[in-house]
A and B are shown apart, each in its own frame.
Chain A
Amino acid sequence: MRRTVLLPALVPLLLAGCVTINIYFPAAAAEKAAEKIIDEVWQLRPPVPAAPPGASQ
């Protein structure tokens, strides 16, 4: 009897666990992405071949 009560209570908890683990903001990955893009934009790193010069003029 006790087990049949416990299981339905446990299942949503397990599912919630599955979802939250995968939805948190990946701060370290974001740092890495920011680092890469800023180095590129500020030309601290070889530029990506794109963007015709003077396009904004």
Chain B
Amino acid sequence: MSRPVFPSSPASLRTLARAVLLGATLLAALPPAARAQGNLEISTPAVAAVRASMQARFAQLEPLLASGAVGLTQDGRIELRDANLVPLAQRAGAGNLVAAENADRVRLYREIAVANGHPEWEADIRNTFAQRWIDKARPGWWVRTAQGGWAQR
């Protein structure tokens, strides 16, 4: 003879109802973006500002990537790999450009994590971007290998 799986006494039922209610409350407390499957929030003012800033900088960064003066790292940043490839007059500017870009990238990863209610996702987001930047690097650009050397795409 099989017994019913669910509790039948009123006290147990009340406990169960309370547990379900608590679960629903916890779910409702999560930010909407965390529940909506399929998309991360990337349109908050903070994220949009970094996106626009990086996009504006790319016009100056592109020649440095194309010449090999600047390369992509494994951790989602860029690096000045050969300053001799930059004309002397522009060398200081190139260093500033790389520093500004890296500051924006760090901000981008953090702001996306924050925008989605999970600051602890920052490292995962950085890793996802790091892989994607490298995948999408144009032919001729330089990329840090896992071994620490440079490889040309």
Which A residues lie at the B interface, using CB under 8 A? 3-4, 7-8, 11, 14-15, 18-19, 22-23, 25-44, 47-48, 50-53, 55-56
Bound together, the chains give a CA A55 to CA B34 distance in angstroms of 35
Is B54 a contact partner of A14 (Cβ separation < 8 A)? no
Contacts of B23 in A (CB 8 A): 14-15, 18
Bound together, the chains give a CA A52 to CA B52 distance in angstroms of 9
B141 CB to closest chain A CB (Å) equals 10
Which B residues lie at the A interface, using CB under 8 A? 7, 9, 12, 15-16, 19, 22-23, 26-27, 30, 34-35, 37-40, 42, 48, 51-60, 100, 108, 112, 118, 121, 124-125, 128-129, 131-133, 136, 138
Contacts of A15 in B (CB 8 A): 19, 22-23, 26
Bound together, the chains give a CA A25 to CA B121 distance in angstroms of 7
Partner of B19 from A11, A29, A56 at Cβ < 8 Å: A11
CB-CB under 8 A for A18 and B60, given A30-B128, A41-B54, A48-B51: no
CB-nearest residue of chain B to A8: B15
Contacts of B39 in A (CB 8 A): 29, 32-33
